[in-house]
Amino acid sequence: MREPYIISSDDITVLIEAVLRAESVKPVQQVKRDVFKEYGILGSGKDPPLTAIFYGIMLRLGILDRVITDLTGSKSPYLLDPKLRAALRVFIYLKLFSKGRVKFDNWFRCYKKVGAWLSSRSHPYVGMWFVDAVKSLSSYDLRFKTPDDELMFKYLLPPWYVKKIMSIVSVSEAE
């Protein structure tokens, strides 16, 4: 078994920037390359593990957004500040889906630094909302609320796709 990748707050900043830009620029592969090049990651030893994390986030956007709505109480993650949404996607992925493969060099410093970064680039309360949501991750339990939640999680499909298929066929056929 390989040693887990030790992720720093600087690595997290790169991931947040890539996830943020991936919302508005396509293809996401190009966004990732551009951001990694800008931050000096492209072609370095950090490139493979950060690339794996980035694509892990992209594959699980529907699930991550469901967790965001659970943690924030927002009806949609798209009602949140885009930087906050990107930061939450990164942290939720790292906490819920990368166990054993990624370790924080200093968990407290990482999320505090990101909170300060968000407050400095957005509304001052955005960093506070981020810190509160991330703190609640430690007690969060990902549960399926509906059959489409389960299919979304199992097959890593976008929620809109699962809902559309389930509106056409039965749950067992959708599976």
The mean pLDDT of 90-107, rounded to a whole number, is: 90
The mean pLDDT of 43-61, rounded to a whole number, is: 95
Q: Do 39 and 121 fall into the same domain?
A: yes
Mean pLDDT taken over the chain:
89
pLDDT computed for residue 41 by the predictor = 96
pLDDT computed for residue 140 by the predictor = 86
Total count of domains within the chain: 2
Q: Do 107 and 161 fall into the same domain?
A: no
Residues 89, 15: Cα–Cα separation, whole Å? 10
Element (H, E) at 7: strand 5-7
With a pLDDT cut of 70, the percent of the chain lying above it is 99
Q: Do 136 and 157 fall into the same domain?
A: no
How far, CA to CA in Å, does 68 sit from each of 33, 53, 136?
A: 26, 18, 11
Q: Do 108 and 136 fall into the same domain?
A: yes
Whether 22 and 28 have beta carbons less than 8 Å apart is answered as yes
Q: Do 149 and 64 fall into the same domain?
A: no
Q: Do 168 and 108 fall into the same domain?
A: no
Q: Do 133 and 88 fall into the same domain?
A: yes
- Residue 155 lies in domain: 143-175
Q: Do 134 and 147 fall into the same domain?
A: no
Q: The domain that contains 94 carries what CATH number? A: 1.10.940.10
Q: Do 136 and 155 fall into the same domain?
A: no
pLDDT computed for residue 160 by the predictor = 79
With a pLDDT cut of 90, the percent of the chain lying above it is 51
86 by Cβ neighbours in 10 Å (0-12 / 13-18 / 19+) ranks as buried
- Separation of first and last alpha carbons in the chain: 33
Q: Do 21 and 65 fall into the same domain?
A: yes
- Cα-Cα-Cα-Cα torsion 156, 159, 51, 111, nearest 10 degrees, comes to -120
Q: Do 147 and 136 fall into the same domain?
A: no
Digit-coded pLDDT (tens) for 102-116: 999 988 888 889 999
Q: Do 75 and 158 fall into the same domain?
A: no
